[in-house]
A and B are shown apart, each in its own frame.
Chain A
Amino acid sequence: MSLDVARERPSTSLFYNPRLRGFLWQAILILIVGFLSYEAIVNAATNMRARGIPTDFSFWDRVASFDINQTLITYSATSTYGRAFMVGLLNTLLVAAIGVFLATFLGFFIGIARLSKNFVVSKLASIYVEVMRNTPLLLQLLFIYNAVLKPLPNPRDSISFGAGIYFNNRGLVVPDPQFAPGSGFILIAAALGIAASFAFKLYAKRRQFESGEILPIARVSAALILMPPILAYLLAGQPISFDTPVLRGFNFVGGMRVLPEFVALVVGLSVYTAAFIAEIVRAGILSVSHGQTEAAQSLGLSRTHTLKLVVVPQALRVILPPLTNQFLALTKNSSLAVFIGYPDLVQVFAGTVLNQTGAAVQVIAITMAVYLVISLITAMIMNVYNRRMALVER
């Protein structure tokens, strides 16, 4: 009986039809979003016209007429706003690249130190992590910049590290490498050396697979990578020389000067992010179950092989996605440069250029787009990697 009732199609009103309701909700949402964006655009147009704010991108090619104190490409006060944008972008990328490198290095070191059985080492590592993670990055940056770097002695009493490296309240002065013609050969030799080492590794792998014989990959590769550039350097007549800084009057002449703002930003970003990376590394290593290590040991693998072939590949699968997030966070956090006056993208473009041109909407849209593009590219690379690394399950 009840089956018959169930087979009968219940007659409900159209109002309760889930598909129709879905369409209705979405239509309402689209209408609201559309209305709000329309209103925002109309309001923005009126407001911008009323206040005389430019609405196009013509400022891009106009002369910027302000100076930037660190430029990786040629730039002067007569360059365009577009050029200033490039300078800012490159400065951001420079800080991010160096910061990512240092933070990863420090983070892995501290993360592993936290797992150490050694009482002193692990305790100190956890104190470092707790202090860094629980204070704002901005506070750390201001501290490094205002309380550590600013009170350094003036150039005449610089702290010397030897080899022409000096540290003072105007920044870090290091010897500037000069590349005479012929330096290109060194680069080519280095590239060839790296290619050769890869080829050797492939050969050694195949050899091991066929005969079981193990070739000393590490030593041969080191020789293959190091020897060609050194030989090329000697053969080309030592084309690289160093311009060492010399104290003359009140400041150094020659050499390369690294801004204190740059030093503060790189150090601040790396030590802060390193604490987060350390936690990720620790969690990753702990995620490899003990049985894996024991199984590897019972197969007779040495400690190095256990780490290299069993623990690290599995830990990396856990570590890499959050690690990339930290790299992105570091890149985004480099915008804190604006607080200490390092000329990064936000300081140069969303700061000075925005104030001079008044083109708020365009400038902020471009700035945001840059960070979005960086995030999207990284996310795409990570997705490809994840697909390759993902556990293959039935």
Chain B
Amino acid sequence: MSLYLRRDDAPLMPPPERVGGAWGWLREHIFSGWVSGPLALAFIALIGWVLPDLIRFFILDAIWIADDGAACRVLGTGACWAFVDRKLDFFRYGSYPGSEHWRVDLVLMIGTVLSARLLWPDGQKSKGALFAFLFGIPLFIFLMMPGPAAVMREPGVELGILAFGVTLASVLEWSKLRTLWVGIFYFFIFPIISVYLLKGSAVLGLMQVDTNLWGGIFLSLLVATVGIVFSLPAGVLLALGRRSELPAVRFFSILYIEFVRGVPFITVLFMANTMLPLFVPDNWSPDRLMRPIIGFALFAAAYMAEEVRGGLQAIPKGQSEGAMALGLSYWQRMRLIILPQALTLVIPGIVNIFISLFKDTTLVAIVGIFDFLRAIDAARIDPVWSGPTVSPTVYAFAAAFYFLFCFGMSRYSQMMEERLNAGRRR
């Protein structure tokens, strides 16, 4: 053991050299070591090599306006944005009839404003935030879905939808409606309105639109929203079941959660598509769009349950015991004491699950649903436009879309995390 011990003082080392200015910053932050210095140089070289090519391909040499693929097929031209522009309606609405697009726009407008109201943290809003809520969010969904071209076609209808969105946001803001009521409207009344609007009904005088024709970004958002909206309550119930004291309840919850989490989403989709119609009486067989949505919702619930369980486990036992001592029943305890604390604790985790669920909506294409990515992939092989630059262009477009959504959500979850930690921070 004695060999480990030092017998005399270690030699004094000179104080670290201090170099200021630009060179000092460079030395500290870029050429800091024998590994990271050369690595940084290699990365800088890589950026210098790739970035100009990317800018040239996607911006400088890109074809912005063209009537068919001929201009994009010319050797040395860049991204074929003209193609994306031409197919934009298909990417957004699938084969939904053009004259009925306003119905989709209206549903999305209501949904976005309501979601924004629900997701917005309570408390005093700053002027900027208020402005963003009243005008920014309606304007964003308006520009993303109908776009300027639709306004040229039907100015009355499309501008009306924008005005409606702004009005709805203002009403929600000024009436000081409680979040609970907005939630009830969002979870129970809004879905019914949407189904009637999207599918059409003779009573309202709206043309029937078969679900076969639904597609594009609108369908991706629809699948994601239904799955997420269903998965929250179902996940909470499953998480409570998994922590229940009743063995049978616990057993079934664990069985369900572990089963769903143990298999790939694609097999769940296959099951929903081929087995669901077998399990129910013939006349109950769900619509071909309904099946993957059910599968998606069931899949989402299991993941949500595990996240909520994490929150439940973080609540000290004293909370539950205190509530019990006050004479609250099980459901009162959960509803008033435990769940509000547990759910706020895991909001960031829940948003992370939303992100991965949103990315997973792309897989519904395997059972023939025309979601956004499937629409991209189908449009890509259009013979009129086929060319070497078309594939990279549309994939870049799709990547930008998904990135925008997911990155936005992750930023939101970080913001919430900070806000929620405010009480815990010292």
Contact = CB atoms under 8 A, between A and B. Distances in A.
Is the A/B pair a real complex? yes
Contacts of A44: 275, 278-279
Contact of A120 (B44, B355, B359, B403): B44
B252 A33 contact: yes
Given A143-B399, A339-B366, A364-B270, A118 B388 contact: no
A336 interface: yes
A135 B399 contact: yes
B36 A142 contact: no
B267 A346 contact: yes
A372 B373 contact: no
Interface stretch (A21-29, A100-108, A285-293, A309-317): A21-29
A146 interface: yes
A376 interface: yes
Contacts of A121: 36, 39-40, 43
B263 A338 contact: no
A335 B267 contact: yes
Nearest to A45: B278
A40 B275 CA distance: 10
Interface stretch (A4-12, A126-134, A180-188): A126-134
Contact of A135 (B44, B278, B377, B403): B403
Nearest to B394: A147
Given A336-B363, A371-B262, A361 B355 contact: no
Interface string B217-254: 00000000000000000000000000001111100100
A212 B252 contact: no
Given A133-B406, A333-B264, A360-B275, A146 B380 contact: yes
B185 interface: no
Contacts of B40: 118-121
A138 interface: yes
Interface string B112-154: 0000000000000000000000000000000000000000000
A342 B395 CA distance: 20
Given A134-B402, A134-B406, A372-B262, A29 B29 contact: no
B407 interface: yes
A333 B281 CA distance: 33
Given A116-B36, A371-B262, A135 B249 contact: no
Interface string A357-379: 00011001001100110011000
B263 to A, nearest CB: 5
Given A116-B36, A118-B40, A139 B30 contact: no
Contacts of A234: none
B267 to A, nearest CB: 5
A201 interface: no
A29 B266 contact: no
A25 B246 contact: yes
B1 interface: yes
B378 to A, nearest CB: 12
A123 to B, nearest CB: 9
A142 B373 contact: yes
B264 A30 contact: no
Interface string B256-270: 000101111111001
A332 B395 contact: no
Nearest to A140: B399
B167 to A, nearest CB: 33
A160 interface: no
Interface string B346-378: 000000000100011011011000000100010
B362 A139 contact: yes
Q: Of residues B264, B395, B402, B407, which shows the largest number of chain A Cβ atoms within 10 Å of its Cβ?
A: B264
A58 B398 CA distance: 44
A350 B36 contact: no
A249 interface: no
Contacts of A216: none
Contacts of A26: 246-249
Contacts of A133: 355, 406, 410
B264 to A, nearest CB: 4
Nearest to A146: B391
B228 to A, nearest CB: 16
Contacts of B282: 47, 50
Interface string A44-61: 100110100100000000
A376 B246 CA distance: 24
Contacts of B36: 116-118, 121
A33 to B, nearest CB: 6
Contacts of B266: 335-336, 338, 346, 350
B43 A354 contact: no
A142 B30 CA distance: 36
A300 B271 CA distance: 60
B3 interface: yes
B212 interface: no
Interface in B296-327: none
A22 B406 contact: no
Interface in A267-285: none
A143 to B, nearest CB: 4
B28 interface: yes
Interface in B71-112: none
The 4 closest A-B pairs by CB, nearest first: A212-B3, A134-B406, A26-B248, A375-B262
29 contacts: A26-B248, A44-B278, A47-B278, A47-B282, A117-B29, A120-B43, A121-B36, A124-B47, A133-B406, A134-B407, A135-B402, A135-B403, A136-B373, A136-B402, A138-B363, A139-B395, A139-B398, A146-B377, A212-B1, A213-B3, A339-B366, A346-B266, A354-B270, A360-B275, A360-B278, A364-B274, A371-B263, A372-B259, A375-B262
Given A50-B282, A118-B39, A335-B266, 10 more contacts: A29-B249, A116-B36, A119-B30, A134-B403, A136-B362, A139-B373, A142-B377, A346-B264, A350-B270, A368-B263
